[in-house]
């Protein structure tokens, strides 16, 4: 999607400051305490805005308070809520190679999720379809919002 938009791509998990604990356990960022992780996401969005750059930052801001923290000082931030059923997401995860998230974590992610229904600045993107279809839906939603 970032390449289609001509935007910079940032994976929230790749931001500095060792988002995984010293013992090497890899678990969802929200479990480790959202504040520092979300501050790095917010700061990355702010940096893009200050440079007048367009960026796509991927992260799982599952709760409204997390999204609100990312919005602080970032007036132009929009969120794409990639909306899919738990069985579909599990199917996609099984097809992935080399990603830390285990299938057993999906239930906790759904339990934590506060759906952004009716939340300003959030675009709901149905992920049922091919990768290309999902990217096209996301790009179309963002273009229509401008």
97-125: average pLDDT? 89
Residue 91's CB: how many other CB atoms inside 10 A? 11
Under DSSP, is residue 109 helix (H, G, I), strand (E, B) or coil? helix
Residue 105 clears pLDDT 90, i.e. is over it: no
Q: Give this prediction's pTM.
A: 0.81
44-53: average pLDDT? 93
Residue 133, Cα to own-chain centre: how many angstroms?
A: 18
What is the structure's pLDDT at 100? 66
HSE, CB side, 13 Å, CA atoms: give it for residue 2. Answer: 11
Helices (H), 6-63: 34-50
Sign of CA dihedral 64, 65, 66, 69: positive
Lowest mean pLDDT across 7-11, 31-35, 45-49, 79-83: 31-35
Give me the domains of the chain, ranges plus CATH numbers: 2-145 (3.40.50.300)
Q: For the chain, how long is the longest CA-to-CA vector? A: 45
Please give the mean pLDDT across all residues of the chain: 85
Who wins on pLDDT, 22 or 145? 145
| Close Cβ partners of 146 (under 8 Å, ≥ 6 residues apart) | none
Share of the chain above pLDDT 90, in %: 62
């Amino acid at each position: 999607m970032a390449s289609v938009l001509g935007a910079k791509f940032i994976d929230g998990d790749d931001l500095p400051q060792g988002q995984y604990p010293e013992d090497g356990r890899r678990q969802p960022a929200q479990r480790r305490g959202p504040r520092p992780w979300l501050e790095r996401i917010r700061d990355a969005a702010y940096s893009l805005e200050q440079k007048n750059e367009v960026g796509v930052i991927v992260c799982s801001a599952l709760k409204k308070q997390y999204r609100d923290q990312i919005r602080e000082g970032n007036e132009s931030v929009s969120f794409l809520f990639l909306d899919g059923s738990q069985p579909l997401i599990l199917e996609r995860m099984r097809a992935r190679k080399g990603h830390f998230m285990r299938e057993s974590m999906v239930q906790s992610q759904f339990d934590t999720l506060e759906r952004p229904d009716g939340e300003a600045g959030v675009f709901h993107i149905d992920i049922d379809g091919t990768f290309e279809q999902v990217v096209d839906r996301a790009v179309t939603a963002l273009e229509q919002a401008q």
